[in-house]
């Protein structure tokens, strides 16, 4: 298995532009998570899906952030418009269940820089 695949690995964009981050979870995993990691806040859970349905998006910082999971093998996290304070590493993770009884498998992350 190739693991959780995220793209792009690095993204540099100008303030005000739309940014789309992509994630392909492990086949057969039913839960998908989006995290943001910064020096100041550490690892923050933004949103998670069970069976492609968003369950809890209380961690999404603002309406500028949105996430979708149109099918079991693909999810996107979109920021529109982007701001410099959105600069962070964004991780996608997947698991057999959201409780994590089998642990989560993380992707390598997307490092986002908004200038």
In whole angstroms, the minimum distance from the beta carbon of 7 to another protein comes to 13
Tell me the window of 22-30, 65-73, 80-88, 93-101 that interacts with another protein (CB under 8 A).
93-101
* Burial (CB count within 10 angstroms: exposed 0-12, middle 13-18, buried 19+), residue 82: buried
* Residue selected from 12, 15, 43, 115 as contacting another protein according to rule CB under 8 A: 43
Beta partners for 68? Answer: 76
Q: Give the x/- contact pattern for another protein in 15-34, rule: CB under 8 A.
A: ------------------x-
CB 17 within 8 A of CB 112: no
φ and ψ of 74, to 5 deg: -160, 135
* Residue selected from 21, 69, 75, 109 as contacting another protein according to rule CB under 8 A: 109
Distance (Å, rounded) from C-alpha 57 to C-alpha 50?
Answer: 12
Q: How many residues bind another protein (CB under 8 A)?
A: 20
* Residue selected from 34, 48, 49, 65 as contacting another protein according to rule CB under 8 A: 48
């Amino acid at each position: 298995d190739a693991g959780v695949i995220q793209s792009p690995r690095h993204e540099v964009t100008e303030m005000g532009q739309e940014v789309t981050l992509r994630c392909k979870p492990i086949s057969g995993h039913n839960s998908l998570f989006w995290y943001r990691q910064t020096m100041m806040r550490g690892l923050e859970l933004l949103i998670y899906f069970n069976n492609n349905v968003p369950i809890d998006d209380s961690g999404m910082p603002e309406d500028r952030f949105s996430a979708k999971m149109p099918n079991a093998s693909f999810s996107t996290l979109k920021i529109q418009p982007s701001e410099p304070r959105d600069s962070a590493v964004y991780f996608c993770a997947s698991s057999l269940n959201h409780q994590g009884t089998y642990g989560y498998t993380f992707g390598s992350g997307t490092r986002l820089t908004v200038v």
